Structure 1
Amino acid sequence: MKRVLIADDHEVVRSGLRAIVETRSDWIVVGEATNGEQAVALALETRPDIVIVDYSMPLMNGLEVGRRLRSLRLRTEVLILTMHENEELLTEAILAGVRGFLFKSDARKHLISAIEALLDRRPYFTSVLLEKLLHDYQLNKLNKSDMLLTSREQSVVQLIAEGHTNRSISTILKLSVKTVETHRASAMRKLGMSSTAELVRYAIRKKLVAP
């Protein structure tokens, strides 16, 4: 029996994903999480084969969940779901060690195939996004300013935009306060920003948080 954990902050989405997963008699949903921090805790408790996680999660986004599970050396594959056609997210996912990436709009048709691929230790990425990424690289049109932030810096920016203090962020990301301050300062320097309000606007523009 293959074990699947679902993480999304919307109950209707979790229910829909569960319904698709449970069409397979040899798969079982071992838990549901409503934020990234809970997803990691449940993964440690239930040891799933697959974690399906929404990219735009409170406290810890999907990429941070993938990075945390990788650092914990769990034999768990991560499938990130997103609403946004953003090749930057795919690049960051690959850098975070995530091997599955799927549009929410494609979940009904392709979720089973994506899970099957990951269970076979094969990557699965939405074809449209891969084509866009390849096209942009070939034409050398990637927006370098948007690629400046590391995925860890993006996680810090997301949490700042959600209203967390440096100390709160350090607890969530398991970093020292000094390291959080370093990431925050680095992000602001790279983006040419001088205020928290500018970081919040950046996070909203890049869909790291909801407006």
Structure 2
Amino acid sequence: MIHKKDISIVVADDHPMLLKGLYDELVANEYRVIGQASNGMQALELILIQKPDIALLDIDMPLLNGFEVVKTAKEKEVPTKFIVLSFHKETEYITQAKTLGIYGYLLKEDSFFEIEKCINTVINGEIYFSKSFDTSFLKNASDELKKFQFLTPSETVILKLIAQQISTLEIAESLCVSKRTIEKHRSNIISKLDLEGETNSLTKWTLNHKNIILEL
């Protein structure tokens, strides 16, 4: 069993009172907090230098948001396990967290008791999402993510270009294929993602899921 004093933690939140409250609670409960940050850039620098066991990150931070911090740190192959804290309960945020392989997702309304449960779960290599989310909600987010697994590499590239609001003709020209070929790919993507076949349904869907798609 890992003792609290052996768990190194970095905390980041752009709200001074929330940051201080979380820091004070962790220290009072004998965790080893090795750094605090009030924006995403500071958090990333701390994580890259200190390589904490766990980073507790607010999602909505200036300079870099929590998800951007996680993505960059993972690209640098930092072994830190990430827990995000947020007011957001929307499926899009849960799906994005799962896409990035984030270990924990907590709501700012959660008690410190639940934060501790999350830390204990995550430090042992398991995933923990706030108990405020019911099982069906998390399953829907996972099912949404699984849809992307049915796409071919070519379809994934095209989906990312659509999410950047690039037209079918421009996509065809950039990939050196015919417009008809891209239209066929769009049709296949619509089918695999189980979308309505109406005009612009794929474009609307990709814009709503842009942050997730660009992480694929």
Does the 8 Å CA contact 1:87/1:129 hold for their aligned counterparts?
A: no
Asked if residue 106 in structure 1 is aligned to residue 106 in structure 2, the reply is no
Correspondence 1:187 to 2:136: no
Q: Distance in 1 between matches of 2:141 and 2:34?
A: 39
Identity %: 27
Give the number of the structure whose alpha-carbon radius of gyration is greater: 2
Matched, 1:8 2:13: yes
d(CA) in 2 for partners of 1:45, 1:137: 33
* Alignment partner, residue 190 of structure 2: none
Q: Structure 1 counterpart of 2:29, which letter?
A: R
Tell whether the 8 Å contact from 1:66 to 1:78 is kept in structure 2 after alignment.
yes
Task: Provide TM-score, normalisation by structure 1.
Answer: 0.63
Match of 2:87 in 1: 83
* Alpha-carbon distance between aligned partners in 1 of 2:116 and 2:141, rounded to the nearest angstrom: 30
Separation in 2, partners of 1:129, 1:79: 15
Alignment partner of 1:131 is 2:135? yes
Partners of 1:47 and 1:136 lie apart in 2 by 33
Aligned partners of 1:3, 1:57: CA distance in 2, in Å?
22
Q: Structure 1 residues 10 and 97 mapped into 2: Cα distance closer, same or farther (>3 Å)?
A: same
Cross-structure match for 2:177: none
Q: How does 1:39-188 map to 2 (within 5 A)?
A: 39-134=43-138, 136=140, 186-188=163-165
Alignment partners' CA distance in 1, 2:132 and 2:141 = 14
Instruction: Quickly say closer, same or farther: Cα 1:134–1:42, change in 2 above 3 A.
Output: closer
1:90 and 1:29 map into 2 onto residues whose CA distance is: 26
Q: Is the 8 A contact 2:58 2:84 kept in 1?
A: yes
Aligned length: 155
RMSD in angstroms over aligned alpha carbons?
3.0
Would you say 1:22 and 2:20 are equivalent positions?
no
Displacement after TM superposition at 1:8 (Å): 0.5
Distance 1:63 1:132 in 2: 24
The 1-side partners of 2:36 and 2:141 are apart by: 37
Give the deviation of 1:134 after TM superposition: 4.2
Deviations 1:89-115 (A, max 9, x none): 111101011111000100423111111
User: In 2, distance between residues paired with 1:124 and 1:137?
Assistant: 14
Q: 1:134 to 1:29 in 2, by over 3 A?
A: closer
Equivalent position of 1:179 in the other structure: none
Q: Relative to 1, partners in 2 of residues 1:33 and 1:185: Cα closer, same or farther, differing over 3 Å?
A: farther
